[in-house]
Amino acid sequence: MGAPDRGSPARPPPGRARPHLARLGPPQPDRPRLGGPGPGADRPVDRTARRLRPPTGPGDPARRLTRRGKQPTAPTRTLGRVDGKVVLVTGGNAGIGKETAIALARLGARVLITSRDPRRGAEAIEEIHTRSSSASAEVVPLDLADLASIDACAAAVQDRTDRLDVLVDNAGLMLSQRTETRDGFETTFGVNHLGHFCLTGRLVGLLRHGAPARVVVVASHAHKVARRGLDFDDLQSTRHYRGFSAYARSKLANVLFTLELARRLSGTGVTANAVHPGYVNSRFGRDGDGYERVISLGGRLLAISPERGAATSVYLASSNAVDGATGGYYARGRPAAVSRAGRDDVAARRLWATSEQLVGPFGP
């Protein structure tokens, strides 16, 4: 036999393993899949539940190691019926808020959505009725940048129902230029955190009457950008303002608010969990310049649909798999890791106290 072609590797003698394969060791048994069959897998799941089941894949946050090297347990991500339950979704007139409302209406809920714009609110209600057949849906006016509007919204909800089973704190914004709310708060912090802090407090009595009840706070992985935590000496961003940085701090405030809310409501039958909806195509940052435009463009390139973005909120609002779960942070239907700043109990308590100083005591 002639010498092997120089362009081809020489074959090893018979019976000898190839070196690069030998280093891999013996064949490994198949590893169990995350999110496989679990309790209740034999139960029928309606089409809405199947379609909205959060996706899994190599990039799923549940596959990433959390702190201390532990992987979060993968729940059974099927949705539950919520027939007759009363659900309030802030910002339910557009985007993931509207998709959250539609999905919960399909699952049987009586849905209340809030909207600052009456016309857009009415259009959203019409779409909810169209896409969920005979769903019960109503709009309640709300401007989270106005404490008087928050009080009026809470009063309107109390006039319409004697209980609340689910509150989804969903509405939010990001602004390239610093502005202030009617009450003098920096708008991003005022709407994304203070507005929801105040509204949740005004509605906590209805949530207690609806117990077991749930609060779902739509946060974001953007909270991890605020690595140094909240600057309690400048929560209003008066020294320096950058749109995305202010947004990231407001999302960290959402995570800390959820942590402290869960602690304070422990034993009441009301749970509180935060979610990262994913990078949903939106108008965030499109009116900005420089860094905000880059963030907005990156978000659009990686964006998922509003329906998929709503999936984890719908899961936390409806699934029996998370009964009693509280104080958590979820992404793609699974527990996800938060930043070190997002686990700071001292900061969470301080934020609560500061928020009460700014908008008044938490409660009806």
Position 254 scores a pLDDT of 99
Q: Where is 148: in which H helix or E strand? A: helix 147-160
Domain assignments of the chain as residue spans, ordered by start: 75-358
Where do the DSSP E strands lie in the chain?
86-89, 110-115, 136-141, 166-169, 213-218, 270-276, 329-331, 334-335
Residue length, the chain?
Answer: 364
Residue 59's contacts (CB-CB under 8 Å, 6 or more residues apart) are none
pTM for the full predicted model: 0.78
Cβ atoms of residues 65 and 94 within 8 Å:
no
pLDDT at residue 135 in the model: 75
Residue 229 and residue 341 in contact, taking contact as beta carbons nearer than 8 Å: yes
Give whole-number Cα distances, 184 to 69, 145, 177, 196, in Å. 44, 9, 15, 16
Tokens found for residue 150: 């928050």
Query: Sheet of 270-276: strands edge to edge?
Result: 136-141, 110-115, 86-89, 166-169, 213-218, 270-276, 329-331, 334-335
Which token pair is 170? 């969903």
Between helices 291-301 and 243-264, what is the axis angle to 10°? 70
327: left (phi over 0), alpha (psi -120 to 50) or beta: left
Which sequence positions are flagged as catalytic?
247
Q: Give the 3-state secondary structure of residue 264.
A: helix
C-beta neighbour count of 129 within 10 angstroms: 15
CATH class given for the domain over 75-358? alpha beta
| Predicted pLDDT at 120 | 97
Pairing mode of beta strands 110-115, 136-141: parallel
Give me the pLDDT at residue 302, please. Answer: 73
CA distances (Å), 336 to each of 6, 279, 312, 347, in order? 51, 15, 12, 20
Which pLDDT tens digits describe the chain residue by residue (364 residues)?
444 444 444 454 554 444 443 433 444 444 333 333 343 334 444 444 334 444 333 333 333 323 333 333 334 468 999 999 999 999 999 999 999 999 999 999 999 999 999 999 999 999 999 999 867 999 999 999 999 999 999 999 999 999 999 999 999 999 999 999 999 999 999 999 999 999 999 999 999 999 999 999 999 999 999 999 999 999 999 999 999 999 999 999 999 999 999 999 999 999 999 999 988 875 545 555 555 555 555 556 778 899 999 999 999 999 999 999 999 999 999 999 999 999 999 999 999 999 999 999 999 8
Looking at residue 290, its pLDDT comes to 52
Conformational region of residue 52, where left means phi above 0, alpha means psi within -120 to 50, and beta covers everything else? alpha
Q: According to the model, what pLDDT value does residue 173 have? A: 95
Res 32: pLDDT: 35
* Cα–Cα distance measured from residue 221 to residue 145, given in angstroms and rounded to the nearest whole number: 23
